[in-house]
Structure 1
Amino acid sequence: MTVIRCANPLVWGELDLPLFGISKDWYGTALTSQAAFCVAVDPRRLWFVASHGKPAKLHPAARPARFVPELWKYDVAELFLTDPTSGRYFEFNLSPNAAWWSCEFTAPRQRAEEGDIVFPDVATYAELAPDGGWVAAMAIPLDLLEARLNFGETTKLNVTFILGSPEQRFLSVANLGEGEPDFHRPERFSPVKFVNA
């Protein structure tokens, strides 16, 4: 999966990044409005940008820039990063209004810690359009990802969306296989491909 490498620090409100579209859901059904995303790194942070052209159903507790568990029960964009050597991976959830959540796993659905631990120094941003469409971004400290996950050329990742709550539609950039939607299949995540901006 393409990760844009930027030589200069990125700034919310001045982002000039290409967005990649997702046009089908888990079952291959076409979407009437594409979801879009970008993953980029600057010298200090990994940026995850997500957008959708339709109004979102937000988690009732979601507040901008607040850490909120169980965002996946409503509309959300998700970034998964894994170290194939150790099998450890992170899940980052980003609500359309910039609420967020994160968790570290040692194996599929096996949490590293029983309780929620806030990943430090994450910054989130969001903008809602008058028609209800949205764009949100998350900036994650790169040094922590490098230390905890050996983030770099061998990393694998995936971007997913849950949209249309309460009749949820599940989207995944990587082909995660058959059956019911299950985003916790790190062995099927896509290798990182860094491209200079």
Structure 2
Amino acid sequence: MMVFRSTRPLIWGELDVPLFGIKEDWYGNGVSPQAAFCVAVDTRSLWFIASHPKAARLHPAARPGRFTPELWKHDVAELFLHHPTSGRYFEFNLAPNGAWWSCEFTAPRVRAEEVEIAFPEVATFAELSPEGGWVSAMAIPRDLLEGRLDFGRDTRMNVTFILESPERRFLSATDLGGGEPDFHRPDRFSKLELRDLPPA
């Protein structure tokens, strides 16, 4: 999966990054308009940017910038980062309004901690259009990812969306296999591919 590398700090409000669309849901049905995302790294942070042109159904407790469990029960974008040697992985949830959540797992769906612990120093941003579309972003400190997950070229990754709640459509950037929707299949996540961010 492509991760863009920037030599200068990225700034919300000045982001100029390519977005990748997801054109099919879990069951192979077309998604129109497409949900889109980008993952980028600068000298300080890993950035996860997500957008969708349609209005979202937000978790009732979701507030901009607030750590909020169970965001996945409503519309949300998700970033998964996996360390293939240890098997550990992180899940980051990003709501359309900038609410967020994170969790560390030692194996599929096995939490490292039973209690909710916010990943430190995460910053989120969001913009909701009058027509209902949205774009949100999360900046995760690189030093923490490198220390906790040995983030780098060996990292495996996936981006997912849950949209159109309460009916819910499940989207995955990486093919995770068949069966019922299950995003917790780290053995199927994509290898990270770094590419320099195109000039603005």
Counterpart for residue 141 of structure 1: 141
Distance across 1 between alignment mates of 2:37 and 2:166: 22
Per-residue CA deviation, residues 80-130 of structure 1 (Å, 9 max, x unaligned), is 000000000000000000000000000000000001101000000000111
Matched, 1:79 2:79: yes
Match of 1:117 in 2: 117
**For 2:87 and 2:133, how far apart are their aligned partners in 1?**
36
Q: Secondary structure at the match of 1:51?
A: strand
TM-score (norm 1): 1.00
Which one-letter code corresponds to 2:157 in the other structure? Answer: L
Residue 31 of structure 1 and its aligned partner are, at CA, apart by 1.0
- Percent identity reads 71
Q: Match for residue 14 of structure 1?
A: 14
**Amino acid of the structure 2 residue aligned with 1:108:** P
Distance 1:7 1:16 in 2: 14
* Aligned counterparts of 2:128 and 2:101: Cα–Cα separation in 1: 20
Residue 102 of structure 2 aligns with which residue? 102
Q: Secondary structure at the match of 1:7?
A: coil
CA RMSD, 1 decimal: 0.3
Q: Distance in 2 between matches of 1:142 and 1:76?
A: 23
CA distance in 2, matches of 1:121, 1:9: 16
Counterpart Cα distance in 2 of 1:105 and 1:41: 23
Shift of 1:172: 0.2
Partner letter of residue 22 of structure 2? I
Q: Secondary structure at the match of 1:72?
A: helix
Partner residue, 2:182:
182
Q: Which amino acid aligns with 1:153?
A: R
The residue number in structure 2 matching 1:66 is 66
Count of matched residue positions in the alignment of Structure 1 and Structure 2: 197
Alignment of 1:20-59 (within 5 A): 20-59=20-59
Gapped regions of structure 1 (runs ≥ 5) = none
Distance in 2, matches of 1:56 and 1:21, equals 17
**Post-superposition offset of 1:161:** 0.0
Compute the displacement of 1:183 (Å): 0.1
Structure 2 unmatched runs, 5+: none
Q: Give the CA deviation at 1:7.
A: 0.2
**Structure 1 segments of 4+ aligned residues over 6 angstroms from their partners:** none
Distance 1:194 1:32 in 2: 28
Q: Report the Cα offset of residue 32 of structure 1.
A: 1.9
Amino acid corresponding to residue 166 of structure 1 in structure 2 = P
1:163 to partner: Cα distance: 0.1
CA distance in 2 between counterparts of 1:104 and 1:11 reads: 27
Query: Scaled by the length of structure 2, what TM-score is found?
Result: 0.98
For residues 32 and 22 of structure 2, the distance between their equivalents in structure 1, rounded to whole angstroms, comes to: 11
1:118-152 deviations in Å (ceiling 9; x for gaps): 10000000001111000000000000000000000
